[in-house]
């Protein structure tokens, strides 16, 4: 049985995972010797024995193009519930404890999350044995590790048990276990963070899952529904580069609300970059390029201040007189849906995804949205905006201080058709808001020059600040901070 590794959180689609064969043993022995000290490495004879008597538990990762070995995991079964010298010396068919002996990858792929991803696929392969008729696979999995590698195995789903009685060399060893292989194998690592926020419980929450499960959209939709956040981002590594490579990390990205997949999401992209950098899946010294289905390549980089910059497509709204353009809602219809009158509406526009509605500052403060009425408009959402009023609220003053500037405009975003009554901070809407206010305020597009920037504050109850820099190449750079609020495993099949 070969398993394709596309669904894994740090794995390129160019690799396959399969049982190690006799002809692979020489490469395995060479990699084992290069990976462990001489007093810890398994001998070629021991590896050959394990491959012969416990092949269901000896798996390797191989390049599809040339069949070369990338890494392997091998183990044997034992009776009992904990690792001892005796339990690791022989294979006990039907034993309920799987003892992992080796987890190794080629040197140039270490510290890239490859070993963690390989362990997860290993557990999935063992879990699959539970569905095989007549098999009695192990229920738990255990291994020992030195202190410096404990976090690696914890990230792969193992739990720290404590000091191990097994001794190899002078350093102490710690035992880690997965007590339910089937359940752990069904899990995916997930981060929840607040985007466009410097402190928790502000900005916009997004979940980031490090898998696409092979492009399984129905699975991703179920996870997003379970999270019940404005968006869940799903990221998957497209290629593995050597440490000396200075090119950008490349990940595929998809975004789901609780009810549908969307073509572009700013705050979940910012959250995804934050999650990849903070978990070590990407180097903070290198740019991340997210490949999306509908919005092209979206690049993220870390600034010296710790904010994240996102290079997005600009979306200058088309402004028109609603009385002569049937694609636009009327001022009266928009005003009524917002609990206002048509005379409160100063301008109406349409971007690629959303309707823009400019109000006076006083009308903006009186919004009472009718979600049913807003859902009748043919758009992803309605973005309501007004020129910023410096210091009009504590939240806005805090936003201005965080951005190091005054707030140029405020906004609120209502997306009932996408299952989001009000979005706390909508990054993608600022692809439209940034160019709109840049033009309206007479700011030039001068690259990194501050005259080419506007600062937006999304005035939801949580609030968040977005710095917008409109460039002359049809792009807009959106910047903001992010903070992790939750990290764990998602169990959803």
Would you list the DSSP string of 39-70? TTSPPHHHHHHHHHH-GGGEEEEEETTT--EE
pLDDT on residue 64: 82
Q: pLDDT for 168-203, tens place per residue?
A: 777 889 999 999 998 888 888 899 999 999 889 999
In 404-479, which residue ranges form alpha helices assigned H by DSSP?
A: 430-440
* Contact between residue 464 and residue 307 where contact means Cβ atoms under 8 Å apart: no
| Mean pLDDT score, 254-267 | 94
Least confident among 162-176, 315-329, 366-380, 391-405: 391-405
Q: Which residues contact 388 (CB under 8 A, 6 or more apart)?
A: 396, 406, 407, 408, 409, 410, 455, 456, 457
Question: pLDDT tens digits for 305-347?
Answer: 899 999 999 999 999 764 455 678 999 999 999 999 999 999 9
Sign of the alpha-carbon torsion through 305, 310, 311, 312: negative
| 115-129, 191-205, 234-248 — most confident range | 191-205
Q: Highest mean pLDDT range out of 40-49, 234-243, 280-289, 320-329?
A: 40-49
234-243, 319-328, 483-492: lowest mean pLDDT where? 319-328
- How do residues 136-148 score in pLDDT, each as one tens digit? 789 999 999 999 8
The yes-or-no verdict on residue 446 having pLDDT over 50 is no
Residues 370-380 have a mean pLDDT of: 94
* Same fold flag, 188-314+485-491 and 318-473: yes
pLDDT in tens, 72-118: 999 999 998 889 888 888 999 999 999 999 999 998 878 766 788 78
Cβ neighbours of residue 304 under 8 Å, at least 6 residues apart?
none
Q: Which H or E run includes 189?
A: strand 187-195
Among the residue ranges 295-299, 400-404, 414-418, the one predicted with the least confidence is 400-404
- Mean pLDDT rounded to a whole number for the chain: 87
Q: Spell out the residues 6+ positions from residue 203 whose beta carbon is closer than 8 angstroms to its own.
A: 194, 195, 196, 197, 267, 424, 425, 462, 463, 464, 480, 482, 483
Q: What is the CA radius of gyration of the chain?
A: 27
Question: Can you give the pLDDT at residue 4?
Answer: 43
Q: Which fold has domain 188-314+485-491?
A: Diaminopimelate Epimerase; Chain A, domain 1 (3.10.310)
**In percent, how much of the chain has pLDDT > 70?**
89
Interval 218-247 mean pLDDT: 83
Report the pLDDT value the prediction gives residue 394, as an integer from 0 to 100: 65
Residue ranges per domain, the chain? 2-185, 188-314+485-491, 318-473
Name residues whose C-beta falls within 8 Å of residue 351's C-beta, 6 or more positions apart in sequence: 315, 316, 317, 318, 383, 431, 432
Phi, psi of 94, rounded to the nearest 5 degrees: 85, 0
Q: So what's the pLDDT on residue 371?
A: 96
| Choice between 488 and 131, residue whose per-residue pLDDT is larger | 488
- Looking at the predicted structure, is the pLDDT value of residue 348 above 80? yes
Q: How far apart are CA 464 and CA 308, in angstroms?
A: 14
DSSP, res 6: T
Helix (H), strand (E) at residue 467 = strand 464-470
pLDDT(475) > 60: yes
Band the pLDDT of 5: cuts 50, 70, 90. Answer: very low
Rounded to whole angstroms, the Cα distance separating 269 from 275 reads 10
Higher pLDDT pick, 168 / 246: 168
Q: Which CATH architecture has domain 2-185?
A: 3-Layer(aba) Sandwich (3.40)
Nearest to 19 by CA among 75, 85, 66, 65: 75
Residues 6+ away with beta carbon under 8 Å from 56: 19, 126, 129, 137
Q: Which residues are catalytic?
A: 231
- 413-438: average pLDDT: 93
DSSP assignment of 207-275: EEES--TTT-HHHHHHHHHHHTSSEEEEEEE-----TT--SPEEEEEEEE-SS-EES--HHHHHHHHHH
Joined tokens for residue 403: 């951005």
CATH code, residues 318-473:
3.10.310.10
pLDDT score recorded for residue 451: 47
Mean pLDDT in residue range 16-39:
94
pLDDT at residue 32 is higher than 50: yes
Checking if the pLDDT of 376 tops 90, the result is yes
For residue 85, what pLDDT is reported? 85
- How confident is the model at residue 8, as a pLDDT? 39
Please tell me the total number of residues recorded for the chain in this structure: 493
Residue 245 has a pLDDT of: 57
């Amino acid at each position: 049985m070969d398993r394709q590794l596309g669904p894994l959180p740090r794995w390129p689609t160019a690799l396959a995972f399969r049982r190690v064969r006799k002809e692979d043993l020489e490469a395995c022995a060479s990699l084992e010797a290069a990976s462990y000290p001489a007093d810890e490495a398994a001998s070629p004879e021991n590896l050959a024995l394990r491959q012969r008597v416990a092949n269901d538990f000896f798996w390797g990762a191989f390049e599809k193009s040339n069949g070369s070995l990338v890494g392997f995991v091998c183990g044997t079964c034992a009776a009992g519930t904990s690792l001892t010298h005796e339990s690791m010396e022989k294979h006990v068919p039907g034993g309920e404890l799987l003892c992992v002996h080796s987890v190794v990858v080629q040197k140039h792929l270490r510290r890239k999350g490859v070993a963690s991803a390989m362990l997860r696929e290993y557990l999935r392969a063992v879990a699959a044995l539970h569905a095989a008729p007549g098999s009695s696979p192990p229920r738990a999995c255990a291994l020992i590790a030195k202190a410096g590698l404990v976090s690696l195995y914890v990230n792969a789903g193992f739990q720290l048990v404590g000091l191990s009685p097994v001794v190899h060399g002078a350093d102490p060893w710690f035992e880690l276990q997965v007590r339910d292989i089937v359940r752990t194998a069904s899990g995916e690592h997930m981060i929840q963070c607040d985007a466009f926020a410097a402190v928790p419980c502000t900005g916009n929450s997004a979940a980031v899952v490090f898998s696409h499960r092979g492009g399984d959209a129905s699975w991703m939709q179920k996870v997003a529904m379970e999270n019940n956040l404005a968006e869940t981002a799903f990221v998957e590594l497209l290629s593995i580069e050597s440490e000396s490579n200075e090119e950008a990390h490349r990940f595929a990205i998809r975004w789901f609300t609780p009810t549908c997949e969307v073509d572009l999401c700013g705050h979940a992209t910012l959250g995804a970059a934050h999650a990849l950098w903070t978990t070590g899946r990407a180097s903070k010294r290198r740019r991340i390029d997210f490949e999306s289905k509908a919005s092209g390549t979206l690049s993220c980089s870390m600034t010296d201040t710790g904010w994240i910059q996102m290079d997005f497509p600009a979306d200058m709204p088309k402004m028109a007189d609603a009385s002569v353009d049937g694609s636009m809602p009327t001022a009266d219809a928009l005003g009524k849906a917002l609990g206002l009158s048509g005379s409160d509406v100063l301008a109406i526009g349409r971007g690629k995804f959303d309707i823009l509605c400019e109000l006076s500052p006083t009308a903006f403060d009186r919004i009472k949205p009718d979600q049913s009425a807003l859902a009748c408009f043919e758009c992803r959402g309605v973005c309501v905006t007004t020129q910023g009023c410096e210091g009009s609220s504590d939240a806005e003053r805090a936003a201005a201080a965080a951005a190091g500037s005054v707030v140029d405009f405020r906004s609120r975003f209502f997306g009932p058709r996408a299952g989001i009554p009000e979005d706390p901070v909508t990054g993608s809407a600022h692809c439209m808001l940034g160019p709109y206010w840049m033009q309206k305020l007479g700011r030039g597009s001068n690259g990194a020059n501050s005259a080419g920037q506007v600062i937006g504050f999304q005035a939801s109850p949580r609030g968040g600040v977005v710095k917008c820099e409109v460039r002359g190449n049809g792009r807009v750079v959106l910047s903001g901070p992010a903070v992790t609020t939750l990290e764990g495993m998602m169990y959803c099949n």
